[in-house]
Amino acid sequence: MKQISLDKYKIICFTDKGQELMDRLAEALFNELSDAVDVPVLESVSSVADWARDNFESGNVLIFIGACGIAVRAIAPFIRDKKTDPAVIVMDEKGEFVVPILSGHLGGAVEAARKIALLTGARAVMTTATDTRGEFAVDVFAKENDLVITDMKKAKEFTARLLKTGSSSAYIDPEFEECLENKNIQLPANIRRTNVEEAELVITSRVYDEDALLLIPRNVVVGMGCKKGKTKDELEKALLTGLLQEHIEKRAVRAIVSADIKRGEPGLIELSRELGAEFITYDSDTLLAQEGDFSSSDFVKKVTGVDNICERAVCAYGARLICSKKALDGVTFAAGIITSGREWERL
């Protein structure tokens, strides 16, 4: 057995014929990724089970060149959740077919299979109903637009109803719809637009607790300032208080922003990491260059050189301010919504 690792692509083969295909695929991938990856190295593998275990990480694309049964047995002990399982693909050693067998949508196996087919001349074989029928796939839509699927069971039920009836309904919060329009993205014609009470699919970053499938856009930017040494728990309490007052979902937070003076603040760094959000700080010139009607503090200006950190930082990111500065027990909080396609592509 041989293997080649090329960035997120982890390829294994079991025969000489399979190695010829692996070498050809690795060369094609390298030519496409050459600016970002090292030259691939061919290595021996003693155990396919150990290889699968070592590479079974979210974000990877595992490619088995051989029988489907080998792949299935190798990955079976490690399969946990479609939201975190990696993409798994099988190719026959002649390179005629490429088949995504795990995490087709959220893990990117379908997209990767189509790419590999183009690179090698193989035929991509799709088995998911939405792909074979050309129907709207809610998990693909969510992944492409950085939306959080809040309930995978409801997502499956939504897809099943759509496949059975051929139509559905959706409500899109105007705050997110503006971003979709800027990216020229639309729902298909068979998903009619309706009000939030009647929709089977709801897309909003605001708190929503009804029965429809909820997708949460990660389009909220939180500006924060704080006294030195504030702990992660103290900062999180202030953040959650601010979000709750504005009826904003915690999972919608895309970035926490502040001033350069807070670049090394452990609590802010830890909080951002826990939320899976960017943590970005800006220098005084950038903050002062922002235009708008901001809350001003002489004390903050004396200490930092800027009259307001949290509101100006939100605007520096490129978000539209929707919540002015709040003072919350030694923490300042402001929030904004991303609407432009350019800022949406940052993460």
The domain spanning residue 78 has which CATH number?
Answer: 3.40.50.11220
| Angle between helical axes of 266-275 and 232-245 (0-180°, round to 10) | 60
List of residues 6+ apart from 14 with CB closer than 8 A: 1, 48, 65, 66, 70, 93
Query: Comparing 8-17, 179-188, 268-277, which segment has the lowest mean pLDDT?
Result: 179-188
The distance of Cα 144 from the centroid of its chain, to the nearest Å, equals 8
> Is 7 among the domain residues?
yes
Whether residues 111 and 16 share a domain: the answer is yes
pLDDT of residue 83: 79
Q: Please report which residue ranges of 82-231 form alpha helices under DSSP H.
A: 109-120, 129-133, 138-144, 152-165, 174-182
CA angle 17, 90, 163 (to 5 degrees): 150
Inform me whether the pLDDT recorded for 301 exceeds 70. no
Contact 89, 116 (CB under 8 A): yes
pLDDT of residue 221: 96
Contact 181, 171 (CB under 8 A): no
pLDDT of residue 307: 75
> Is 133 among the domain residues?
no
pLDDT of residue 347: 44
**For the segment 123-154, what is each residue's pLDDT rounded down to a tens digit?**
888 877 655 556 678 888 888 788 899 988 89
Whether residues 194 and 92 share a domain: the answer is no
Last residue of a domain, one of 107, 127, 147: 127
Whether residues 250 and 339 share a domain: the answer is yes
Rounded Cα distance between 176 and 185, Å, is 11
The domain spanning residue 205 has which CATH number?
Answer: 3.40.1390
Cβ-based burial of 156 (10 A; exposed 0-12, middle 13-18, buried ≥19): middle
The domain spanning residue 325 has which CATH number?
Answer: 3.30.420.180
Whether residues 10 and 110 share a domain: the answer is yes
Contact 168, 161 (CB under 8 A): yes
Whether residues 280 and 169 share a domain: the answer is no
> Is 132 among the domain residues?
no
Range of the domain at 194: 138-217
Whether residues 117 and 57 share a domain: the answer is yes
Cβ-based burial of 153 (10 A; exposed 0-12, middle 13-18, buried ≥19): exposed
Per-residue confidence band for 159, with pLDDT thresholds at 50, 70 and 90: confident
Number of separate domains in the chain: 3
**For the segment 77-113, what is each residue's pLDDT rounded down to a tens digit?**
999 887 789 999 999 999 999 999 898 777 888 889 9
Question: What pTM was computed for the model?
Answer: 0.68
